[in-house]
Structure 1
Amino acid sequence: MSLRGKIQAGVIALASASLVAFLGTWEGQGQNVVYADKLARGLPTVCLGITRHTSPFPVVVGDYWSAARCDQVEQLVIQKGQLQLADCITNQQVGQNTFDALSSHSHNVGVPSTCASRAVGLINAGRIADGCQALAWAADGKTPVWAFVTNAQGKKEFVRGLHARRLAEADLCREGL
């Protein structure tokens, strides 16, 4: 059964409670006022990482979003991203935790980037544990990945918080393997 088939059969949940809680840890639980995300070069962000790139509504710094609106748009955004992500995961052995970890990653860096990642390549090749490791580490096992931002001078800077998120995603990805 394909990953899409598992979703349709209810074996894999979209916007699972554990994923939403996990995103809350990393995306700012209770951010009802739109803010300029410093790590995203001032990109207006609200709720659990909703931006103009993902929201069907305008996201304007200073605007207030009710908890109900956040919940509604978060569900929409998370599920839409997960359905796109499911199309690039060909390994039928992927379980909920691995899917949730990849969903968190793609929620943060974008579905196209996650789908093109070494992590998804390894997972699709049947090397799930190695793919989980690749969410946080380069092939050498020592160099952090997906934990850098480009500063105003155009230089990449390591962000400890992003690496902590990548490590947590890798741990979640491996749970239950």
Structure 2
Amino acid sequence: MNLRNKIAAGTLVLASATLMPFLGTWEGNGQNTVYADKLARGLPTVCKGITRHTSPYPVVVGDYWSNERCEEVERLVVQKGQLQLADCLTNQQIGQNTFDALSSHGHNFGYVSTCASRAVGLINAGRIAEGCKALAWAPDGKTPVWSYVTDEQGRKHFVPGLHARRRAEARLCSQ
């Protein structure tokens, strides 16, 4: 059983009042002009992390999106992603903050990756506190995870800002 029943019952909320500002902190508030995201190898990005992979509209560097279009597409993209996430979460004890933290992670790395993560595996196994910690840390508790980008030569580089986001997700998740 997945979490869609909790969503249908209103126990979990899609695009919650906590999640959307949280995403704005990390993805950008008021980012209405499409830019080439350096951390994503120049992928055109707008609003709160909207790309050609998620948007129903073309995302072209230099284009301007109104606040209304940003809000419309952000809500659509976040809700669609959260429904994907709900399908892979089997632990019915998950609360809104855990769901929102996992949603932020999925929004950043893709919901398929989040669903396949050690964090989701632990959370589904009932080990929520450990799963939340796994959003930011490897099993040794010292090595950052999900905080690296790969350059054109295939080399991984640690990005402190990504790790700050992972730590914030881990904190939100465990609240």
TM range (shorter): over 0.9
**RMSD, aligned CA:** 0.8
1:141 maps to what in 2?
Answer: 141
Q: Deviations over 1:19-44 (max 9, x none)?
A: 00000000011100000000000000
1:44 maps to what in 2?
Answer: 44
1:105 maps to what in 2?
Answer: 105
| Paired residue secondary structure (2:33) | coil
Distance 2:72 2:86 in 1: 21
Distance 1:3 1:76 in 2: 19
Distance 2:27 2:37 in 1: 10
Q: Deviations over 1:49-107 (max 9, x none)?
A: 00000001100000000000000000000000000000000000000000000000000
The runs of 5 or more residues in structure 1 that have no matched partner are: none
| AA partner of residue 39 (structure 2) | L
How much does 1:2 deviate? 4.3
Q: Number of paired residues? A: 175
2:55 maps to what in 1?
Answer: 55
1:128 maps to what in 2?
Answer: 128
1:70 maps to what in 2?
Answer: 70
| AA partner of residue 20 (structure 1) | M
* Runs of 4 or more consecutive aligned structure 1 residues displaced over 3 Å after TM superposition: none
Instruction: Among all aligned residue pairs of Structure 1 and Structure 2, give the percentage whose two residues are the same amino acid.
Output: 78
Q: Deviations over 1:143-172 (max 9, x none)?
A: 100000012321000000000000000000
Distance 1:75 1:42 in 2: 24
The runs of 5 or more residues in structure 2 that have no matched partner are: none
Q: Which moved more, 1:75-84 or 1:150-159?
A: 150-159
| AA partner of residue 8 (structure 1) | A
Q: Note if 1:152 corresponds to 2:152.
A: yes
2:119 maps to what in 1?
Answer: 119
Distance 1:101 1:125 in 2: 17
